[in-house]
Amino acid sequence: MDVSVENPGGLKRRLKVQIPAERVNGAVDEKVKRVGQNARIPGFRPGKAPAKVLYQRYGAQARQEVVSELIQQTYPEAIEKSELNPAGQPEIQLDSFEEDGPLSFTADIEVYPEITLQGLDSITVEKPVAEVGEADVDNTLERIRDQNKTFEAVERESVDGDQVTVDYIGRIDGEAFEGGSADDMEITLGEQKFLPDMERGLVGRKAGEDFDLDVAFPEDYGAEELAGKTATFSITVKSVAEAKPVELNEAFIQQMGVEEGTAEALRARIRESLEQELKHAIETSMKTQTMDALHEANTIEVPEAMVAQEIDRMRKEAMQRMPQEMQQDPEQAKQLLPDEALREQAEKRVALGLLIAEVISERELELDQAKVDEKMDEVASGYGEQAEQVKQYYQQNPQLMQGLQAMVMEQQVVDNLLAGATVTEKETELDELLNANSQG
């Protein structure tokens, strides 16, 4: 078998493969012979038809089947012979296949980049330093109370923070439009979940009021037919309700999972949770800085096939966080999240994956099973009494275990790089650090 390699540029390679006629004819002969063993041909007993008759009847079909089979067989052989390291599946084109002649095909592939790591000993990282104080516990406690608040009807004009229940119908140029009407819509003023003009227009209103309100849609509004237009909404205020933060009584505290039912026990639980969040946020910040430094110091070309796979994976991850009906429409997913919107991040992810693999190879890092067990304990602990069942589920699911192991291995790479990095401390506000971590 003859194999030659052309380099069109970048990571692309073109394999030219020619399979000798002897091998092709031998494969055709073997296939015709196997078919003939059970073939029922008029005038001949099963398996006794002459080769000439078999070729007349089955030769063309056998040759077509042999093309596919030989390409599948010889492509791996050609890769091994050429000593290439393909990244993704090939694009194969049949060049020639004439009777009693050789079979020739072309395989266009991408290869992994050759990587020479740089800058590993000059990484600089700022370690965030923050503490959980009593004020942080107080703020979290207030957020919990606010998240569990109820609303109580009042006989006064509405103010920010109130919940206003309205019926409305919107019109543009006197015509109602789709999605522009609702009954018993609850709008909490100040949450900025509705159009700004709508929320502002509902401040200072009382139950029983009927009025018209002009509402401008932003130029970048999601529905193109409404973007940049002004609608007139006919609104009826049905009720105004005042927010009432939940009382921190024994029943509510126990409902929050604190069996003791006391404010002191709840505060202790909040502090413990904040300290865990702080620890995770610090680790995440340092990991992100380390990975960014590795990426910036090592600019590499990445295979387009791997980028395309990563874009698809990122889109699926994003769609899983959207409403169920939107998850069922792949075309809508591509419209909402086109390839170009995801490309830069996908290229970075692919590059980092290749760089991490090179660090593992160059520094001969091996997976630490004790750290895997520790990570599994950490994951399972979040499920309370079901922790042991969660561990068993992971152990019985190879895909989940591979994901867990990859996570641990990546952290081992970060720890290895940080061991040789210049690390300085930076005083940081707790809220700033936790917010940055949640957004990342």
Q: State the Cα–Cα distance between residues 31 and 363, nearest whole angstrom.
A: 50
| pLDDT confidence bin for 156, thresholds 50/70/90 | very high
Contacts of 218 (CB under 8 A, 6+ apart): 195, 227, 228
Structure-block tokens of residue 41: 């041909």
> For the chain, how far is it from start to end, CA to CA, in angstroms?
52
pLDDT of residue 393: 92
> Strand pairing of 163-172 and 230-244?
antiparallel
Contacts of 356 (CB under 8 A, 6+ apart): 294, 410, 413
Give 415: exposed, middle or buried? Use CB within 10 Å, 0-12, 13-18, 19+: middle
CATH number (3.30.1130.10, 1.10.10.10, 3.10.50.40, 3.40.190.10) of 150-244 reads 3.10.50.40
The answer on pLDDT for 56 being more than 70 is no
Average pLDDT of 82-100? 90
Q: What is the DSSP string of 331-384?
A: HHHHHHS-HHHHHHHHHHHHHHHHHHHHHHHHTT----HHHHHHHHHHHHHTTG
Q: Which CATH class is domain 124-132+252-439?
A: mainly alpha
Fold of 2-110: Alpha-Beta Plaits (3.30.70)
Q: Where are the domains of the chain?
A: 2-110, 124-132+252-439, 150-244
Average pLDDT of 428-440? 81
Write the pLDDT tens digit of every residue in 169-198: 999 999 999 889 999 999 999 988 889 999
Quick one: residue 184, left, alpha or beta (phi over 0 = left, psi -120 to 50 = alpha)? left
The answer on pLDDT for 438 being more than 60 is yes
From 380, 436, 425, 438, select the one nearest 129 (Cα to Cα). 425
Cβ–Cβ < 8 Å for 15, 4 = yes
Q: State the Cα–Cα distance between residues 111 and 93, nearest whole angstrom.
A: 18
| pTM metric for this prediction | 0.75
Sign of the alpha-carbon dihedral angle for 432, 433, 439, 440: positive
Helix 263-297 vs helix 339-362: angle between axes, to the nearest 10 degrees? 80
pLDDT of residue 49: 64
| Average pLDDT, rounded, for the chain | 90
Alpha helices in 37-128 (DSSP H): 51-82
Cβ–Cβ < 8 Å for 192, 224 = no
Write the pLDDT tens digit of every residue in 354-410: 999 999 999 999 999 999 999 999 899 878 788 899 999 999 999 999 999 999 999
